[in-house]
Structure 1
Amino acid sequence: MEERNMGNFLKRPRYWRYALTDLGGLAFAAAWGMRGLAVLHWPLWICSALLATITLPLAWGFLTRDLGLGRPEFVIDRVLAARTRRARVILLLAAGTGLSILHRPDLMLLVAGLVIGASYLPLGRAMREPVHIRTGLAILFVTVLSLALPQPWHMLIAGLGTATACWLGAALRLMRSLPNPVGHETTPKTGRAEFSDTQALS
């Protein structure tokens, strides 16, 4: 039985790209969380342990779902997803260059939050995943809210708020994609395999 399960696992090499995308989203959330925690001047090991406590279980969940169960989130509208990814990269690069020229690197956190939060909205449409849309709206709300706060509260709220939105969104996505109880499975695994040429985003 174990050999059969291992054989099924090895037959899903294409799902590694989905898992890596999900892990990349968690790394992004951890980076923003560290930015926020840096304001508190806690020892690095405490911040790292706190972030690991949140990130590692979510990472294990995505690896189990994407690789073990073969149930990644597929993109329905690949054109919209590709355009959104390109626009996000271009806007972030343009913002970084423009703010560097203007000698205002302090605004990069704000601009990055707006760009990334806004990019979740079309990605949610492309994947037909409402959790992505809610996550994007939450990031936008936190980013705008932090505008009214002075430093260091601006950095604290923007960093931890964005990270929390991503973590909650990831947890909800995992809960929604858990297998249905036996006898209530509505989508056969063979049907999911037909989407092998799609791309997943996180």
Structure 2
Amino acid sequence: MSNNRIKNIKKTLLSNNYYTLNKLNFDYQMPDGSWVNQMREVYERGHGAGILLYNSTKKTVILIKQFRMPTYLHDNKDGFLIEIAAGLLDTDNPEQCIIRETLEETGIQLKTVKKVYEGYSSPGVLTEKMHFFVGEYTDDMKVSEGGGLASETEDIEVLEIPFTEAIRMLENGEIIDTRTIVLLQYAQIHKLVE
């Protein structure tokens, strides 16, 4: 890291309960040359991977539904979101991660995936970078019920829905997860399911 417009970075640990939350104070040089002190809280939770599973023959996608407490506290009446399968990278690379998470969450055993994007989830506060994948599935790849890991207290409902229905749900506000929106729009633009 090297940026001569930033100096005197002071990091204060606020929480190290599940992930790490730090308060950062630093001096930042403005375009006019003046220096200002800024403060940011930065949540470090590692990087993640997500995938849109699609079947071009059946013209379907597999999404999941699970409870998300922050959305419940805000404006999501029951707290459940419809999302792509996704997870945090452990010690594996993004491709290995998404193949593992797909199996755990959906019961689909993928052999290959295609990476289409990577990007920061919420760069003003999170260090997390998401790796976005698409993967074609067939019925014979279903090796278990999925639903997530009991050890992680996951409660995941697997949804196989027509792609046209997923786009309708996106357009009417039933799908409000940004990662899912990105990959559904990718599938739409690139005509993965026609």
User: How high is the TM-score relative to the length of structure 2?
Assistant: 0.22
More strand by share: 2
More helix by share: 1
User: How high is the TM-score relative to the length of structure 1?
Assistant: 0.22
Q: Greater relative contact order: 1 or 2 (C-alpha under 8 angstroms, separation 6 or more)? A: 1
